[in-house]
Amino acid sequence: RVFLFNIACEFTTYPFWHWMTHARRSPYAQGPLHEKKFNPVNPYEDKGQDHLLREITFTTLGWLQSSFVQCIFMWLWASGRLPYYGDFWSRPFFSIFILLSVTYWSAFHFYWSHRFMHPWWSVRNGIREGDIGAFLYRHFHSLHHRSHNPGPWSGLSMHPVEHFFYYTRAYFPLLFSCHPLHF
């Protein structure tokens, strides 16, 4: 059910914003929202249908991977292998602090995991030269950068290895007991 729910969320949210911002027949994409975009060029017209299908495919793989992580944590909590507390207000200061901190943790984690996948010294380097970032960029992260003019599907259009790094931001319940809402 988790997989179906998450995929249903993806395929209602993303197509809606795609239609609102990029569809030719949409009055919003050619009207008020068109003027608000940083780059008014439709990324899916100049690169064709293959670009859109690639982004949909890799975004969907990301949603499936995050669903898998969600199922693992739900199983760990339900089986008692990972402690948590069910009453959010039993620890009000801690609960609110963690809830407010999650946004900053996500931004901090995103920056450093994203930076980790870029070349540290030179694009020509690789693992032999000690540049893991160049290796990760060349083999995994460059897929994400094929979206030069991002659209609604671009944000999570990444290689599954990059999704693995990206979703490690949700692993902080492994460090301390928290409420599932913090996850």
Mean pLDDT throughout 128-140? 90
Q: Please, which residues bridge with residue 178 across strands? A: 84
Contact indicator for 70, 2 with CB cutoff of 8 Å: yes
pTM here?
0.85
Convert the pLDDT of each residue in 44-100 to its tens digit.
776 677 888 999 999 999 999 999 999 999 999 999 999 999 999 999 999 999 999
Question: In 3D, which of 159, 126, 165, 127 has the Cα closest to residue 55?
Answer: 159
Q: Residue 97 is encoded by which pair of tokens? A: 């602090």
Average pLDDT of the chain, as a whole number: 88
Distance CA 67, CA 70 (A): 5
Q: What burial letters (b/e) apply to 146-175, b meaning 16+ CB within 10 Å?
A: ebebebbbbebbbbeebbebbbebbebbee
Contact status, residue 167 vs residue 69, Cβ threshold 8 Å: yes
- How many whole angstroms separate alpha carbon 45 and alpha carbon 24? 10
105-128 pLDDT per residue, tens: 999 999 999 999 999 888 777 788
Distance CA 148, CA 54 (A): 13
pLDDT in tens, 91-104: 999 999 999 999 89
Indicate the domain borders of the chain.
2-182
pLDDT of residue 41: 75
Q: Can you tell me the distance from the alpha carbon of 163 to that of 157, in angstroms, rounded to the nearest whole number? A: 9
